[in-house]
Amino acid sequence: MRREEPRSDLYYQLLIVPWSGFFALTAIAYFAFNLAFAVLYRAQVGSIADANPSFWDAFFFSVQTMATIGYGDLRPATTYANILVTVEVLLGLMGFALATGVIFARISLPTARVTFSRVAVVTPQDGRPTLMFRVANRRSNRIVEATVALTLVRDETTLEGMRMRRFHDLKVERHRTPLFSISWTVMHVIDATSALVGATHGSVQAQGIELIVTLIGLDETLSQTVHARHSYRAGDILFGRRLVDILSSAEDGTRTVDYARFHDTV
């Protein structure tokens, strides 16, 4: 499902657009600004001293004025040009300040480098059918007081015959870990109280089931709250398989993780 973003929320759009798109928009705005002022400077003949009749002299004079470079070769020669220079410098300073603020906001956004296993599995664990998936912290630091929440979304029909998309919270065996540094296997026991009780591969497909996972914690390096989200659709839920064991111990007792097999199942 695609949601239309409000066009008036320019600041939000500038934060979510990819870096390539952001720099492209900045460059377009920069050149458009200087082109507009170049046209205004040329509206009065002789407004720029020592300038050639070329349009590009007016353009580069605008660039120098906007950036307050002032090489000295070109200068305003009339009151009209001085007024334009005053307006352009004011708008240029505001533009640079706004661009700097947006760039800083983009860089300083706290992000989590978290990897979720590509599939979730349903397999017996201690004699009980259990839904499992894995989460890994891709950074070398730790996420403090990490919590995970699991929600089941599926199509249901009400008693009145209305088709609805409903949400069901699934209880996980351990929803919080004090230090999330390497890998975390999240498990949900499918018992009589679970919304997944009696689920099969066919029923999961028929109901259009989707599992939504959210993870929130405090990044110990950034000292800021970070979050990650992932969803497993019906085709990503495998029955009768289990996740490959990726933990091993060396002779000196050091525990290692084989991330090459992080997504593997058997």
Do 201 and 123 sit in the same domain of this protein? yes
**Distance, CA of 26 to CA of 102 (rounded, Å):** 11
Name the residue type at position 66.
M
- Residue finishing a domain among 108, 128, 159: 108
- 83's CB contacts (< 8 A; 6+ apart) are none
- Locate 2 and state its tokens: 């695609």
Q: How many angstroms from the chain centroid is the CA of residue 228?
A: 9
**Is 5's pLDDT higher than 70?**
no
How many domains is the chain built from?
A: 2
Q: What is the CATH number of the domain that holds 183?
A: 2.60.40.1400
- Residue finishing a domain among 108, 143, 167: 108
Do 143 and 46 sit in the same domain of this protein? no
What does the pLDDT average to over 26-34?
95
Strand partners, 133: 186
- Residue finishing a domain among 108, 130, 148: 108
Domain region containing 26: 10-108
Classify residue 164: in a domain, yes or no. yes
pLDDT in tens, 244-263: 988 877 777 777 778 889 99
Classify residue 25: in a domain, yes or no. yes
Classify residue 26: in a domain, yes or no. yes
Q: How many angstroms from the chain centroid is the CA of residue 245?
A: 30
Do 102 and 172 sit in the same domain of this protein? no
Q: What is the CATH number of the domain that holds 37?
A: 1.10.287.70
Do 133 and 86 sit in the same domain of this protein? no
What does the pLDDT average to over 29-46?
94
Cβ atoms of 236 and 131 within 8 Å: the answer is no
H/E run at residue 66 = helix 55-66
Range with the lowest mean pLDDT among 117-121, 132-136, 214-218, 251-255? 251-255
pLDDT reported for residue 97: 94
pTM, whole model, 2 decimals? 0.71
Place of tokens 């377009």: 28
Residue from 140, 121, 115, 112 nearest 225 by CA? 112
Do 169 and 63 sit in the same domain of this protein? no
pLDDT reported for residue 238: 93
H/E run at residue 103 = helix 79-108
Torsion sign over Cα 109, 110, 115, 121:
negative
pLDDT reported for residue 4: 55
Classify residue 238: in a domain, yes or no. yes
Name the residue type at position 105.
A
- 96's CB contacts (< 8 A; 6+ apart) are none
Do 197 and 233 sit in the same domain of this protein? yes
Neighbours of 156 (CB within 10 A): 11
Do 19 and 67 sit in the same domain of this protein? yes
**Distance, CA of 256 to CA of 203 (rounded, Å):** 38
Cβ atoms of 111 and 226 within 8 Å: the answer is yes
